[in-house]
Amino acid sequence: MKEGSPMPHENALLQALLDAPAPQPELSEIGQVTEVGDGIAIVSGLARALVDEMLDFGNGLMGVVFDLEEGRLGVVLLGDAGHVVPGTDVRRTGRVVAVPVGRALLGRVVDALGRPRDGGAPPQTDRTRPIEMEAPSILDRAPVARPLATGLKAIDAAVPVGLGQRELIIGDRQTGKTSIAVDTILNQKGTSVLCVYCAIGQRGDAVAKVIGSIRDGGMMDKTVVISAGDEEAPGLSYVAPYAAMSMAEVLAMGGNDVVIIFDDLTHHAHSYRELSLLLRRPPGREAFPGDIFFVHARLLERAGQFANHAGGGSITALPVVETQAENLSAYIPTNLISITDGQIYLSPRLVRRNQFPAVDLGVSVSRVGGKAQAPAFREVAGNLRVTLSQFEELEEFARFGTRLDDDTRHRLARGAAVRGALRQPERDPMAPDEQLAVLLAAMGGLLDNMDEAEMAVAMAAIREDVRINVSETADIIASDRSLGDEDRARIVNAARAAISEAEHGPDA
């Protein structure tokens, strides 16, 4: 063999390379940023890009195509745009926004893209799901027929929520909207219900407080928290509720009942309005774009009670919306009231009277949950609303200082007792049998003319007595039976004895 000539095995390798098929060319489309705004970018040179497609801006920053125009794309950025300047290269990914899903997310705090926010490792799941999915069809749904217990007397008795329902929580700021949502999560501790809490545009300390309450209540292992704070890009606030809904859908597909809370959709609408104005979309009423109704409708329509062939699970949506000066006729509140199956209205007037939860039963309504309510509660709820409405009318009239007859004074005392019985501190959910006993005692006159401290002692005594001595009440509620006269009398007598013992001791 001549010196410098190739070895036989080298000849074989060269021949194999020559005989191998040529690699297929890879098509890579690269565009450039022409303008950058606060959370948005205008991109040119990507003529084949599609709506909702993700674009790669480098350094881990992604964007979503929102607007398609000839020669330009309006892109919403999903993160800090600090390094994006005009001339930055942008690449297509051929993918839509998707987030990790599955039970591995339970107990975790993640951002709108499923990235960990709790200092832990990324969720151990290889499943992802697009954030935008088609809502289930009518044939894939089943009627709402099972109750969701919130643990709050004012809601479970008068404004019941069913599994698979969409019930709006609405009210001015600082009226306790988030508190009701958190108490509902904590009341699922002894059930199989899973929870998803989506914080949209909230301050970091407020989200941390919610997470602390959930953890202290022992529900963190059954809850996923998605946080898109007010200090983050508006694009993340926009995609957060859709990402949360995709996570909830996968849990429901496994036959689970899921409660999802959007706190709140007012901030979500504001982030969408901000992005739309930056992208120069035509503004409409209150400067919101014309499709703002569809933005929330396509999200909430994905909730419901699903048929057995669709997994048999349910997604109960509790969206939160904030009003200004009790204005229920504003644009976003009216949109959401028309989309949902009822609303729990929290009144600042009741807050000023130290009535918590501040649920206004005259405005609150549940259009579906009554069908899932236990008959025992349904019988009590009708009398509760009538008693309170008559009391409020008389209370307004009595402010004029007019002389009142004995019957009117009696009805005022009874109404005040019933309203006081609906008071409930935060993080103190009540079992259904305890709620029923307290309400029957109030409407039976056992709490008349008590001050707030005396009423708190009396209600605590009634709750303890029900747990120990009147356990059959829970069986009546669980078996969907009505309360007979004997059942009512037994509960009221037990409550009377418990109050007497609390006031005078066990020998009274």
Q: Residue 395 is part of a domain; what is its CATH number?
A: 1.20.150.20
- Please check whether residue 217 lies inside any domain of the structure: yes
pTM above 0.95, yes or no: no
Angle of CA points 242, 294, 184, to nearest 5°: 50
Are residues 496 and 458 in contact, defined by beta-carbon separation less than 8 angstroms?
no
Which position among 141, 367, 378, 490 bears the catalytic label?
367
- Determine the Cα–Cα distance for residues 145 and 304; give it in Å rounded to an integer: 11
- Which of these, 128, 112, 129, lies nearest to 241 by C-alpha position? 112
Task: Let me know whether 91 and 186 are in one domain.
Answer: no
How many domains in the chain? 3
Are residues 114 and 105 in contact, defined by beta-carbon separation less than 8 angstroms?
yes
Task: Let me know whether 145 and 282 are in one domain.
Answer: yes
Task: Let me know whether 453 and 435 are in one domain.
Answer: yes
- Determine the Cα–Cα distance for residues 79 and 60; give it in Å rounded to an integer: 9
Q: What is the CA radius of gyration of the chain?
A: 29
Task: Let me know whether 453 and 407 are in one domain.
Answer: yes
- Which of these, 200, 203, 199, 224, lies nearest to 214 by C-alpha position? 224
Q: Residue 157 is part of a domain; what is its CATH number?
A: 3.40.50.300
Among 323, 351, 370, where does a domain finish? 370
For residue 357, say if its preceding peptide bond is cis, omega within 30 degrees of 0: yes
- Determine the Cα–Cα distance for residues 235 and 39; give it in Å rounded to an integer: 7
Among 66, 96, 126, where does a domain finish? 96
Are residues 111 and 78 in contact, defined by beta-carbon separation less than 8 angstroms?
no
- Please check whether residue 150 lies inside any domain of the structure: yes
Task: Let me know whether 346 and 483 are in one domain.
Answer: no
Joined together, the tokens standing for residue 423 give: 């008071």
- Which of these, 306, 322, 206, lies nearest to 251 by C-alpha position? 306
Whether residue 367 lies in the annotated active site: yes
Are residues 154 and 359 in contact, defined by beta-carbon separation less than 8 angstroms?
yes
pLDDT tens, N- to C-terminus, the chain (508 residues): 555 555 666 677 777 777 777 777 767 789 999 999 889 999 999 999 999 999 999 888 999 999 999 889 999 999 988 889 999 999 999 999 999 999 999 999 999 999 999 999 999 999 999 999 999 999 999 999 999 999 999 999 999 999 999 999 999 999 999 999 999 999 999 999 999 999 999 999 999 999 999 999 999 999 999 999 888 999 999 999 999 999 999 999 999 999 999 999 999 999 999 999 999 999 999 999 999 999 999 999 999 999 999 999 999 999 999 999 999 999 999 999 999 999 999 999 999 999 999 999 999 999 998 899 999 888 888 788 888 988 988 888 887 766 778 888 888 999 999 999 999 999 999 999 999 999 999 999 999 989 989 999 999 999 999 888 888 888 888 888 888 888 889 999 999 999 988 877 665 5
Q: Find the domain containing 194 and state its range.
A: 99-370
How many Cα atoms occupy the beta-carbon half-sphere of 33 within 13 Å?
A: 23
Task: Let me know whether 177 and 38 are in one domain.
Answer: no
Stated as kind and residue range, the H or E segment containing 314 is strand 314-322
Are residues 157 and 384 in contact, defined by beta-carbon separation less than 8 angstroms?
yes
